[in-house]
Structure 1
Amino acid sequence: MGKILVTGATGNVGRHVTTQLAEAGLAVRAFVRDPGRAGLPVEMVRGDLNAPETLEPALEDVESVFLLWPSFSTGVADEVVTAIAKRTRRVVYLSASVPDGEEPSRHYGDIERLIRRSGLGWTFLRPGGFAANTLGWAEQVRRGVVRWPYGQAARSLIHEKDIAAVAVHVLTSAGHNGAAYAITGPEQLTQAEQVRLIGEATGREVRWEEQPLDEAREQLLAAWGDPSFVESALETWGRFVTEPEPTTDTVAKLLGRPALTFRQWAEDHAADFR
């Protein structure tokens, strides 16, 4: 098997992809902005996907690429995908979840279309909600109250280790060309239940406090700066109150074991909330 290039190698998912590949004894190269700070036990090449010219050296002797796009804009994605297609054979792209029969919106769908047209062999991973996004509640958890909208929104959050394990499986085994895998955690939990489980993992009582929508909108707009993204997020969370995020058994089918639960994720990250 040829060398595998991992982009986004210092992120929540990419770091696990990199270390799991290395632990399996496979040839892996990490594409990072600052090798000196990355702290990865593999070969590293300095670069940035927003500067496509830096990608060329990283693609030498590479057969497959794990692609994680670093922003909400497609920007120079066309140049990046073209460079990957010229030097490698296949790409595993970390995309986003979609309703059945639809394609991802925003930049996720744009990049999927670029990859489909590139001539590369491809597999798309379409995870549901990331359990790691609840780390945004950490400061509130420390105070004992999480104030957020839509406490009854139910999601099937996935552990980043499972996303990485699926990516590694797809990168290192046959039969996945042209597949788009919807991957989720094994259970539906409301946001209020997620907060309770985080509290139990940290050994403290944490309660949920429903936040008025106008206040949440103002807070999210200050943090994210994109009104359309804020409205999309609020609309999605609101929908999950009456239409919980679906669960899939993709992780179990591909890996031969159940997906990790949110309780397991919270226990793995308890120190991050203390």
Structure 2
Amino acid sequence: MMYVTNRSIRFFSSLFLVGAVALSGCAVDTGESDDASQVEMTTQALHGSSIGPQLIGAWQDSDRAFPTLQLDADGSYALDTGIRCIRTPCPSGESGVWFLYRAGAQYYVSLLSDAYDVSWYRVRLEHGAPTNLVGAFGTSGTFSKAKTFCVEFQTTDETGTPYPSFFAQNVKTYEEGSAILAPIAPYLINEAIREGTCVDQPQICTRQYAPVCGQVFTDPEETYGNLCELKVAVRGRAGVDGFAKSRWIDGACAAPTAPF
């Protein structure tokens, strides 16, 4: 009950601040109009529009590795400045709740910290998808949607004979993916570093039936129509921020035997 009360206080505090901004008409020139006095700002439910769900995830400074901003689906956020200290207190970041507002055709993200500090960002869209969060109403800085890369590879033995195994892993940078592949480079085949999460990689396979008996991690063995379908399953297990591996043998899995 206390959590709900505190969250309500934060919510109405944020609404009050919206009204204050609208009355004052103050704005920082960010290259586009941020004049909230011309149109009423209204709260936009996180899952009530196509924009809200697209904002969920990691954002990073457009020019540097830090600060980073994580917007979560439960309405909370975490800001990491990248500062690390031996002694405390250390201004390494902040956390709180975030809200999505709309003023006409323009969307804004408001960050309400646990200390009741408020930051404002205008959502820049391209083809209906958010690409940048640009500081507005006195807030400086610009965040860009953080990129993710999927590293995929198979390995071989010393003679170049491929092992029946496949790996998929999400990384934050292309360089991080290269660092994973470098130590095993002499024993790699079908390696790739592609932009986007592993689960978002192409999922299209041919209908050719060339069954393999595959196993993802230590899950029960399963028959896949072909090797491509097994790789799709591995990418799915790696998801958006994880790692997955598999092995297989050619042919369909043997029917399980009845217990003794």
TM > 0.5 between the two?
no
- Structure in which a larger fraction of residues adopt helix: 1
Q: Which has the larger radius of gyration?
A: 2
- Structure in which a larger fraction of residues adopt strand: 2
What TM-score, normalized by structure 1, do the two folds share? 0.26
